[in-house]
Amino acid sequence: MAIVLLSGGQDSTTALLWALENLPGPLHSLTFLYGQRHATEIAQAQRIAAKLRVPHSCLDLGRLWEALSVGTALTAEEPITTAATGLPTTFVPGRNLVFLTAAAAWGYPRGERELIIGVSQVDYSGYPDCREAFLQSAQVTLSYALDQPIQIHAPFLQWDKSEIWRYADRLGYREFIAEETHTCYRGDRSHRYPWGYGCGTCPACQLRRMGYEKAFG
């Protein structure tokens, strides 16, 4: 049994498609509420799971981030730019570490030992927790922490956005990804492009558009 970390975005949704194609047994999709600015992410994750007929749950981690006093461009009305640290202001410190830990703990009593996450260290927006070294370390740590083997699948770790687009297209889900997923940092679903909804100017939209154009011309 496996858990797919589903944000409602392009990469996590395509990772769910990958899991449906490649992993035996039942799947569960899991979305986290962490104070993100745009409720449309949660709505799309729920909609995607329903359309793909995969059980879906939400875990509310919002109070944790409040306690940590984390304010980023994904959780507050902050400008989307590069911080003094050299990281984008959309970086949420510890997010993927907390997500993987919460998913592993949530799946423990259910016998769910495999976690699927749609990160890429090629097109990763400068986030350090989307890199292979982090995922390998997290897998070892969680296995020790739960005293049983935990496997983290990151099927797109070495892929750029165009390869993720082409994979969804090969499965017959290009239009599904464009129509149903949400990636725009500004939460814009009023503008529809061939690659999907978004403001068209934020880094997430630009990356998604460039990947689409590279994949399909």
**For residue range 136-180, what is the model confidence (pLDDT) as tens digits?**
999 999 999 999 999 999 999 999 999 999 999 999 999 999 999
pLDDT (tens digit per residue) in 64-83: 666 555 555 455 555 555 55
Question: What pLDDT score does 156 carry?
Answer: 96
DSSP sequence for 127-141: -GGGSHHHHHHHHHH
Cα–Cα–Cα angle for 82, 207, 9, nearest 5°? Answer: 100
Q: State the Cα–Cα distance between residues 156 and 14, nearest whole angstrom.
A: 9
Q: State the Cα–Cα distance between residues 93 and 127, nearest whole angstrom.
A: 9
pLDDT (tens digit per residue) in 23-72: 988 999 999 988 776 678 889 999 999 999 999 999 998 776 665 555 55
For the chain, the structural domain boundaries read 2-172
In CATH terms, the superfamily for domain 2-172 is HUPs (3.40.50.620)
